[in-house]
Amino acid sequence: MRRMLLIGGAALALSACDGEPAAQQRGPDPDLPAPQRGLLPEMTVPRPAAWGSESPTVPQGYTIQAIATDLGIPRQTLVLPNGDILVAEGTGGNAPTLRPKDFIAGLIKNLGKSAAASGNRLTLLRDADGDGTYEMRRVFAAGLNAPYGLALVNGALYVANQDALVRFDYRDGQTEASGPPVRVTELPSAINHHWTKSLTASADGRYLYVGIGSNSNITERGMEAEIGRAMVWQIDIATGAHRPYATGLRNPTALAIQPGTGQLWAVVNERDEIGPELVPDYLTSVREGGFYGWPYSYWGQTVDPRAQPQDPAKVAAAIKPDYSLGAHVAALGVAFSTPALGGGFADGVFVGEHGSWNRSTPTGYRVVFVPFRDGRPAGAPVDFASGFLNGEGKARGRPVGVSVDPRGAVIVADDLSNTVWRIAPRR
């Protein structure tokens, strides 16, 4: 059954079922159809619905439970060495609308968001007896500014707020911050069209990497607004000095270091408004000094004529990503697996797909597992947590960050139902 929603004179079809990305859209060599341009892109955001007595669907042999509910927009999580979990709660952004279509898109997106207030805090969860039930819940730090990325390095907890990277001292077992955060470095925050600041640390603990999204879809605010953006910064922990590590990444929403190799990986949200099957969001290794195309091209050297002026030299240098996740799935979380998760989920990455807003048939709204072999993606993605859309096409949840507990569990932040889920092999 379909309903029609009329906003600003535009007819927007609301689909009643979630959609799979076309098979040829996922993997190392996605099909790239011809761009489609129009007055408005296709727009559908499923309305929120309660989970009730149900929960996401997980593979046979695995269990799922809600370990925290009624949070303030949980976005990313961090598993601490003693097994405690930190949850970054909040939402940000202050970008003014430029065009009528931006106003309409904003209204559509808001239909699918939680009504909860932004927590602007870190919450700590503790399972003291290891039975999978987190009986302690405490605010670790409050008064933050849309915290998102988290990293623990050499006794220091780093938090990427929407405007700055800050640091707390941390000792094992601590349940609340011992003092206010120390500012490490400012992060680009003017306009903040893409406000999230993803974060991870190098394997040797020398550097932090911060993912910073663009201030536009395709430079409609001009290149001045993109200074320091659409890139991954490398920050020297000892000095706080930063430099561009890789560029041309439209919105690198989550970062992770590959165990054993120290290689940096990212999931990236690509550009919109050229069709429901363009441009694929992706998972990729991130090369030092690499350029990944935005805004001049996508998926390597496929030119986007909307970016003006063009830069043929940049296009020629653009790196093709490693693995397509499908267009508009809105990947917001990435974490490498551990053998403790067992079965077919021992080697690969988990990706949280927040879900599309800009196609008539929704896609994403799940956590997928991308299998690896010999350190590289190898094979089709597998649903690891699904059912976030119900049979009526309403959204009961939207996955964001994913973390892996080395003892054998996947932690999923859901910013629509304001829940943190724990998925583990059945013991």
Tokens representing 79? 């598993």
In the prediction, which pLDDT does 211 show? Answer: 99
> Which class would CATH give 3-15+34-425?
mainly beta
In the prediction, which pLDDT does 22 show? Answer: 61
Order of strands across the sheet with 62-68?
62-68, 419-425, 409-414, 399-405
In the prediction, which pLDDT does 106 show? Answer: 74
* Structure-derived torsion over alpha carbons of residues 102, 108, 109, 115, reported in degrees to the nearest 10: 130
In the prediction, which pLDDT does 101 show? Answer: 67
In the prediction, which pLDDT does 322 show? Answer: 98
Contact status, residue 47 vs residue 110, Cβ threshold 8 Å: no
Q: What is the pLDDT of residues 310-323, one digit of tens each?
A: 999 999 999 999 99
In the prediction, which pLDDT does 20 show? Answer: 60
Query: How far from 348 is each of 74, 215, 381, CA to CA, in Å?
Result: 24, 31, 10
In the prediction, which pLDDT does 199 show? Answer: 99
Low-confidence ranges of the chain (pLDDT < 70): 1-23, 101, 104
- H/E stretch holding 312 reads helix 312-317
Query: How far from 33 is each of 24, 54, 75, 108, 187, CA to CA, in Å?
Result: 11, 38, 32, 26, 36
In the prediction, which pLDDT does 107 show? Answer: 74
In single-letter form, the type of residue at position 244 comes to: P
In the prediction, which pLDDT does 5 show? Answer: 31
Tokens 């969001």 -> residue:
281
The angle formed by the CA atoms of residues 237, 335 and 409, to the nearest 5 degrees, is: 120
Tokens representing 407? 């003892």
The DSSP call for residue 128 is T
In single-letter form, the type of residue at position 395 comes to: A
Q: Within 13 Å, how many C-alpha atoms sit on residue 94's CB side? A: 8
Domain ranges for the chain, please list them.
3-15+34-425
